[in-house]
Structure 1
Amino acid sequence: MKLRTTLGAGLGALALVLSMAGSAQAAQGNFTYKYVDGFGVERQATLHDPHSGKCINLYAVGDDEEQPGYGPHNDTDTAVTVYLGANCQSPGWRLKAHGQPAKDTLEVRSVRFDAPQAR
């Protein structure tokens, strides 16, 4: 009887740990990019601990009718693909985790972060 109770408790704890690991679907760190606002002023935007595994249209540049952002910097713990098109359309460029800032010639409108590795 004790073995069955212990085994049940162990499996329950394992299921709880695995479900908690799956709910943490965010890259940890900051992703930044630059853009020019409607007044012609260069601004910088930051995504802090961005969601992983889904497409994110970036603030102020995430529409194909707007000027794209540029010079992205991935300082998160997961790789990211940046896209010139909104809704993660068009060819994408991969930026590694904790990488160097990209050149200002790399334009961006949307991003998708890889699912984070088990921590």
Structure 2
Amino acid sequence: MRSHSALATAAGALMLVLAVPGSAWAATGQFRYSYQTADGYDAVGFINNPPSRTCIDIQGAGSDGTSAAYAPKNLTDATATVFLERGCAGDVYYSLRPGAGASDRLLVRSVVFS
């Protein structure tokens, strides 16, 4: 009889794990960055509750092939690793802990959250 209750408990635990929504694999909060529009105006972009372990190319950054976003602020609960290149590629990257921001000198085109 004990093996049946242990099996039922294990099955129940597995169902709970499978029932966790996809948002459990997302950072909670907002990632902000500044960029310059095609018209030369400064703008602020943001990503709300970004998915974890997925590379995100930053909108507005580098769409013309030259400019990058700058001054990222990680207001999420996960570590954000920002990259100079699109596609989270290249050797130039920087990690921002939750709640941290960087200066205007830090240029970014993509980001991935832990």
**TM-score category, normalised to shorter length:** 0.7 to 0.9
CA deviation string 1:59-106 (max 9, x = no partner): 11154714100000001111011001000112210100122x210000
**Residue of structure 2 in register with 1:93 after alignment:** 94
1:22-41 alignment, distance < 5 Å: 23=22, 24-41=24-41
Percent identity between the two aligned chains: 30
- Name the aligned partner's letter for residue 30 of structure 1: Q
Q: Are residue 10 (structure 1) and residue 18 (structure 2) matched? A: no
**Residue of structure 1 in register with 2:72 after alignment:** 72
Gaps of 5+ in 1: 115-119
Q: Between Structure 1 and Structure 2, how many residues are aligned?
A: 112
CA deviation string 1:14-37 (max 9, x = no partner): 112333458421001100000011
Measured on the aligned residues, the alpha-carbon RMSD in Å equals: 1.8
Alpha-carbon distance, 1:43 to partner? 0.8
- Name the aligned partner's letter for residue 59 of structure 2: Y
- TM-score normalized by structure 2? 0.88
Please give the alpha-carbon distance, in whole angstroms, between the structure 1 residues aligned to 2:41 and 2:64: 20
8 Å CA contact 1:63, 1:86 repeated in 2: no
- TM-score normalized by structure 1? 0.84
Change in CA separation of 1:107 and 1:52 when aligned onto 2, cut-off 3 Å: same
